[in-house]
A = this chain, B = another copy of it.
């Protein structure tokens, strides 16, 4: 199987791959870098087809990402999908959190821990595998900071494909188990995510992996489009409008840029009023190259060696860094940073005010929300949505929380412990 032969032939609104750097166009193939300039490719659409999409059409769809199939490059026919059917996760009104932070306008948490493998990655993997199937691949692989590994392994188990999943060896135990349980080839690599990613780029060029879709490499343009659904859903769940402010964690930066793209698409099609929105980013202090570039006024991002507990965000050389800078600057947002103690405090604040248990990435986002409010960069009189991208159970080992009392099963012991006066 040669990559040149692979072209998506399904009927969809996607019309081409387009270089985000030089604008060169290509057919719908299994390549993610421009043959002209090595810039990143993204999916281009037939705007007339997009313009024909209606709210009613979407609302009549299933309660998952595939309701937006008319706005996606693959998966229009249910039979073609390779998917756990993620999406339509809860948009939770966070009144008690809003009150603590001084909000007068509604504050919402888009809680993507409700997805099948409890992270937003199910969205992108469903797009990647559906594209992979359409392109003729027969196995799947990825480099991952953990959540992607869980999702790729679970998707492969559902559809019966062989999977090879590459992770940094020092990942959280829960994320390792939640990949291994699906019985993929699970390869622990002594190195950072960026090291793992470099290795899988090389492996993708070998004969042995010729029939393998690397979800965030050769099918990345399709994969990345899955994140748009996190913008579509929020807009629909708010009653078809764009929130005035959003706070989004940054790893590769793809999620942030695709939510921004989704809002722009909806407004262009006319599915929502074209109201302004501001995009705010959240990074951890242990890996804040995009925040640093933003505050230094740079257009490019200087790679760093990540540290710290927010391992799912620990991408030191973020592929979409420059596009994040574009989106944040264009919309008038900002990027905040949270250290490890802030992250733990953010997890606790979210949990005790909303009942949502977020992983470290969610702690980063909540803590950055609080900072952005404190610094006057987020307007508490404007409707705001923050994205929780993953589940607290996956990173529970970083918390230092315990029972408040320990007793024997007697009223006497309960009294001595102060539970009865």
Residues of A within 8 A of B (CB): 63, 84-85, 88, 90, 96, 111, 114, 116-118, 153-158, 160, 164, 167, 169, 173-174, 176-178, 180-191, 195-196, 198-199, 202-203, 206, 208, 347-348, 351-357, 391-394, 396, 399, 401-411, 414, 417, 419-421
CB distance from A354 to the nearest CB of B (A): 6
Interface-centre pick from A90, A167, A190, A407 (highest chain B CB count, 10 A): A407
Chain B residues with CB below 8 A from A156, complex form:
355
Extra A-B contacts (8), CB below 8 Å, given A157-B355, A178-B393, A182-B357: A96-B157, A96-B158, A154-B356, A177-B399, A181-B392, A191-B409, A203-B419, A391-B393
Shortest distance between the CB of A395 and any CB in chain B (Å) = 10
A396–B178 CB distance below 8 A: yes
What's the nearest-Cβ distance from chain B to residue A40, in Å? 22
Instruction: Let me know if B199 and A158 touch, CB within 8 A.
Output: no
Most buried by B among A206, A355, A356, A396: A355
CA distance A185 to B188 in the complex (A): 39
5 closest A-B pairs by CB:
A158-B355, A154-B355, A180-B401, A195-B409, A188-B403
In Å, the complex CA distance between A369 and B268 comes to 52
Q: How many angstroms between the C-alpha atoms of A154 and B96 in the bound complex?
A: 13
Q: How far is the CA of A327 from the CA of B409 in the complex (A)?
A: 33
Complex CA–CA separation, A276 to B63 (angstroms): 30
Contact yes or no, A167 B410, CB < 8 A: no
Tell me whether A403 and B187 are in contact in the complex, defined as CB-CB below 8 angstroms, given that A63-B63, A347-B181, A410-B199 are known contacts.
Answer: yes
Report yes or no: B174 in contact with A396, Cβ–Cβ below 8 A: yes
A351-B181, A407-B187, A409-B191 known; A206 and B420 CB under 8 Å?
yes
User: What is the distance, in angstroms, from A126's C-beta to the closest C-beta of chain B?
Assistant: 11
Complex contacts, A202 vs chain B, CB 8 Å: 411
Would you mind naming 26 contact pairs between A and B with Cβ atoms under 8 Å apart?
Answer: A84-B355, A85-B90, A154-B356, A157-B355, A174-B393, A174-B396, A180-B401, A183-B401, A186-B402, A186-B403, A186-B404, A186-B405, A187-B403, A187-B405, A187-B414, A187-B419, A188-B407, A190-B406, A198-B409, A199-B409, A202-B411, A203-B411, A203-B419, A208-B419, A393-B393, A393-B394
